[in-house]
Amino acid sequence: MPVSDYDLTQAWKQVLTLSKLEAGQTVTVLTGAATHPQTLRTALVAAASMGAIVNRLDLPPVNGEKALSRDALAYLGTTPLTGNPAAIAALKASDLVLDLMTLLFSPEQHDILSGGTKILLAVEPPEVLARMVPAEADRKRVKAATARLSRAREMHIVSDAGMDLRCRLGEFPAISEYGFVDEPGRWDHWPSGFVLTWPDEGGTNGTIVLDRGDILLPMKSYIQEPIRVTVESGYVKAIEGGLDAELLADYMASFNDPEAYAMSHIGWGLQPRASWSALAMYDREATIGMDARAYEGNFLCSFGPNNEAGGSRTTACHIDIPVRHCTVSLDGEPVVVRGKVTDGHHAPVNTLFKEASHA
């Protein structure tokens, strides 16, 4: 069902309140060719209604001639900010940037954040945003998982399908994504709800087995037959299986970059309002697949860059794979058992429409 402008404006106000937006602060809304018009107009109204000084910065798309699809995450590297000091200056002069374009995996984003500017990415369809409006309970749950992950020195992932992967930890920080930006210099993504880190360079070994129903992103496809991925010293050494395996291997090979095969971030989903099946309801170009990345209990693994965590790998290829039914252990202690998170958390109610009805 479509979402009304009123409800989406209320959703924005809730997110902006959690992000500690204050009257008189400067908000710049970053837009591009694929920005959803309803998300844009309600963001502008919500920020202005809270007393912010609101600007819009619209930038042309890049990399279209290089990417194999129009998905914003299908080719990373240069962005509309590359070589654009005027745009960078405008964003650095803002207290809060609402990224409705998708600025990720870039040195420019790090530069903006380093000055204390907050960046909130929001590019999913309006009804997805409304269904997964973040709450303080999301932050508490994700932060608790992040603290546990920060102490770990090994993540071990197994499944009945044959997954058996060991990742050495400690070189890179654990990252919280809970859907709002409540600290200076923070980046986050609405909607989200998961914890992640990057394994030590060269510290991942074993076998990733992707089974029927696991999801490949940015392809946004449900796997129909098993894929077996062999990882040695942090790099993919073999991809075996049927047609799905061939498609994955061909996509990764198209970047002609050995760093495309490196292990990237690993973690698990903590968002009970996200749905594994939601991706099946959307045209592939309508979503970037945050339901798939965030749904509770998935093991999210990826290949490609690590510069978001302070590493030096900046390959244009980035593959995210939410895997079902895994057991994830930290230093021998299970945090997810066959796809069920062990923290005893009960899902918070989405209070957006209840709050709106009493407004």
**Domains of the chain (ranges, CATH numbers):** 5-132+351-357 (3.40.50.2300), 136-178+186-341 (no CATH)
Rounded to a whole number, what is the distance in angstroms from the first to the last CA of the chain? 22
Cα dist from 111 to 108, 185, 196, 308, 309, whole Å: 5, 10, 22, 12, 14
Question: CB count, 10 Å around CB of 333?
Answer: 11
Question: CB count, 10 Å around CB of 53?
Answer: 14
Are 279 and 320 contacting, i.e. CB atoms less than 8 angstroms apart? Answer: no
Flag the least confident range among 163-172, 207-216, 309-318: 309-318
298 or 105: which carries more pLDDT confidence?
298
117 vs 112: CA distance, rounded Å: 6
154 vs 170: CA distance, rounded Å: 8
pLDDT for res 66: 82
Mean pLDDT, residues 193-197? 98
pLDDT digits (tens, 9 = 90+) for 251-289: 999 999 999 999 999 999 999 999 999 999 999 999 999
Three-state DSSP class for residue 179 = coil
In 3D space, the residue among 267, 261, 259, 265 whose CA is nearest the CA of residue 312 turns out to be 259
Q: What is the token pair recorded at 327?
A: 């057991």
* Cβ neighbours of residue 122 closer than 8 Å, sequence gap 6 or more: 15, 39, 43, 98, 99, 100, 129, 189, 190
pLDDT for res 353: 44
Radius of gyration for the chain, computed over Cα atoms and rounded to the nearest angstrom: 20
72 or 295: which carries more pLDDT confidence?
295
pLDDT at 349 over 60: no
304 vs 315: CA distance, rounded Å: 6
Cα dist from 302 to 106, 236, 262, 308, 321, whole Å: 17, 11, 9, 13, 6
The percentage of residues in the chain with a pLDDT greater than 70, rounded to a whole number, is 96
DSSP for 280-345, written as a single string = GGS-GGG---HHHHHBTT-EEEEES--GGGT-S---S--EEEEESSEEEEETTEEEEETTEESS--
Are 197 and 174 contacting, i.e. CB atoms less than 8 angstroms apart? Answer: yes
pLDDT at 213 over 70: yes
Mean pLDDT, residues 229-238? 98
Instruction: Kindly indicate the confidence band of residue 357, based on its pLDDT and cuts at 50, 70 and 90.
Output: very low
Q: What is the token pair recorded at 331?
A: 């230093």
Q: What is the token pair recorded at 185?
A: 């210099």
pTM strictly above 0.95: no
Question: CB count, 10 Å around CB of 198?
Answer: 29
pLDDT for res 172: 96
Mean pLDDT, residues 105-112? 88
Are 305 and 107 contacting, i.e. CB atoms less than 8 angstroms apart? Answer: no
Residue at 353: amino acid letter: F
166 or 75: which carries more pLDDT confidence?
166
DSSP 258: G
pLDDT for res 352: 53
pLDDT for res 347: 57
pLDDT digits (tens, 9 = 90+) for 23-71: 999 999 999 999 999 999 999 999 999 999 999 999 998 888 888 888 8
Cα dist from 60 to 28, 149, 150, 258, 336, whole Å: 16, 38, 38, 29, 42
Three-state DSSP class for residue 227 = strand
pLDDT digits (tens, 9 = 90+) for 295-326: 999 999 999 998 777 778 889 999 999 999 99
Q: Is 221 exposed, middle or buried (0-12, 13-18, 19+ CB in 10 A)?
A: middle
Are 276 and 324 contacting, i.e. CB atoms less than 8 angstroms apart? Answer: yes
The percentage of residues in the chain with a pLDDT greater than 90, rounded to a whole number, is 85
DSSP 223: -
pLDDT at 92 over 90: yes
pLDDT for res 346: 65
pLDDT for res 350: 54
79 vs 59: CA distance, rounded Å: 10
Query: Which residues on neighbouring strands pair with residue 263, listed in sequence order?
Result: 303
Q: What is the token pair recorded at 106?
A: 């870039």
Are 349 and 358 contacting, i.e. CB atoms less than 8 angstroms apart? Answer: no
